[in-house]
Structure 1
Amino acid sequence: MIRYALVCEAGHGFESWFPSSDAYDDQAARGLVTCPFCDSARVDKSPMAPGVARTDRARPPAATPAAVPAPAPMPMLAEPERQMRALLRMVRAQVASTAEHVGARFPEEARKIHYGEADSRPIYGQASLEEARALVDEGIDVAPLPMLPDDRN
């Protein structure tokens, strides 16, 4: 496994794990590596300090099974980020509870509503970046639903 520090065209930084550097290259070439903040597939590796074990210190004696410490807890998020994530989850929950999920039919349904071919109602679903841009170009109001990194796991 290899961890890369990545950055998208909008400057969002994030990290991701890959089975190998070849796996990253293959996934990136196929557009499968996307920014968790803006969903851009234009992602590049950014400089990252490697984790190198020190060899100039003596190793501690091997622990017996009973003396193995519990794993360290995951680092806690800073309070502002925790609050922001909670707010984004509330926004997603509000949309899910008040709008109709139309899935991959989102662009088609949005057009039908816009052009009066279907009843006006709140909807949400999936659209590619190109489909969303086409909707905006047609004057159809759309907005991405924020997605958190842990929503993709």
Structure 2
Amino acid sequence: MIRYALACEHGHEFEGWFSASTDFDDQKGRGLLECPMCGTREVRKQIMAPAVAGTKRNSPDLPPQARAVMMEALSKVRRHVEENFDNVGDAFAAEARAIHEGRSEDRGIYGQATPLEVKALVEDGVPVAPMPPEPPKKTEVN
């Protein structure tokens, strides 16, 4: 994975992770990149020093505004999945594999799977992704 420091035309700075160095240009050319804070598609790479592995973790926390925007976006994704996909519960791995192999109706699903089941699906090329976490309840927030 390659991490790029990105910025939008409005000066918002954020990171992007790509499988290969050509993926940024490809996704930008197809209009798939957008700023997570304002939604503009005018995104560019910034100059970035190479990451050097060390023993200390120097990862600053996100600014509160960026964290709020990210959490809201994740909540929207989760709501969309829950409202539009079939919940197959703990049969997720078997159903995902059946859909991938054409033995079951092609549709969006979600549910639960063990880490070993997920690993096997990924190794076999079955597209899976984790669900965004549930947003904290108002009573649980400081």
Q: TM-score, normalised by structure 2?
A: 0.49
**Which structure has the larger Rg over C-alpha atoms?**
1
State the TM-score, normalizing by the size of structure 1. Answer: 0.46
